[in-house]
Amino acid sequence: MNIELGILNDGRVTLVSDGPLPDIVRRVEYYREQRLFQLVYNDPENDGQLMECEIPVHMTAPVEKSPNVIIFTLFPGLEPLGYKVPLIKVGEIY
């Protein structure tokens, strides 16, 4: 499963998964020093999923401005599921 970061034309931050996520995402934590996202799920048994790649420097400004993230999950043969969750920023601003 791949998760891609995107910025919509209106500045909203999106995370798009090409497959079903383990559970509904409750919030996304952004670790400023490492420029990484962690997905926190509703079910506490699912550990937070740290995104494998760093957020590119040119995308940090939109991420810093955004109070939330739109999660899109794609299911084969079905309509995508989309919902908004809070974006929690952790660490010092540079």
Range of the domain at 73: 3-90
Residue written as token pair 């309509």: 79
Residue with tokens 């955004």: 66
Domain total of the chain: 1
Q: How many CA atoms lie within 13 A of 13 on its CB side?
A: 22
Token duo for residue 90: 């952790």
Which 3 state secondary structure label does DSSP give 64? Answer: helix
Q: Place 51 in a pLDDT band, splitting at 50, 70 and 90.
A: low
Q: What is the amino acid identity at position 29?
A: E
β-pairing, 3-7 vs 36-41, is: unpaired
**pLDDT digit string, tens, across residues 58-79:** 999 999 999 999 999 987 888 8
DSSP state of 51: -
pLDDT at 87: 96
